Amino acid sequence: MVVWEITKNSHVNQRWKAAEKLAKNHHVKVYHIRYDHKSQTTALHYVVVGKTTEYLVIFDQKAPNVWWCQCKDFSINVILRKKRNYCKHVLAVKIALENNTADHYYLTEKEYKALRPNLFFHQED
């Protein structure tokens, strides 16, 4: 995961405008997934609906400036080339959370697996 601070003044350009549009148009989904029925442990998965696919965005709740996105722009320009610190999907999640425009879904692990079968999950004992 990559560490940095995201501020409105840090990147005012096409990426910021695209992220604002995604957030404003409710393209950010927050899945509250209940993994453990006994302790009611939940996890948050952020998904941004792009033009052709959905992108999983993850951040460390203990270190809120640590983000990761599964899009190519993040892999190439953030991680490999270190040209920037984030992609528009990460920005869209931050904006949607700040402006309360994210759509929230509350699911069990089984329901989430059926909805997003291509993600990796921990194995049950």
* Per-residue pLDDT of the chain in tens (125 residues, 90 and over written 9): 444 455 554 545 788 889 999 999 999 999 988 877 666 667 888 999 988 889 999 887 677 677 899 999 999 999 999 988 889 999 999 999 999 999 999 988 888 888 876 654 433 33
Number of domains the chain is built from: 1
Q: What is the pLDDT of residue 6?
A: 56
Other C-beta atoms closer than 10 Å to the C-beta of 13 total: 7
- Give the range of the structural domain holding residue 93, as residue numbers without chain letter: 12-115
- Tell me if 4 is assigned to some domain: no
CA atoms within 13 A on the CB side of 121: 20
CB proximity list for 66: less than 8 A, separation 6 or greater: 1, 2, 3, 59, 60
pTM of this prediction? Answer: 0.79
Q: How are beta strands 54-60 and 63-69 bridged, if at all?
A: antiparallel
- Tell me if 107 is assigned to some domain: yes
Q: Which H or E run contains 65?
A: strand 63-69
- Tell me if 122 is assigned to some domain: no
CB proximity list for 86: less than 8 A, separation 6 or greater: 2, 4, 6, 11, 67, 69, 74, 78
- Tell me if 93 is assigned to some domain: yes
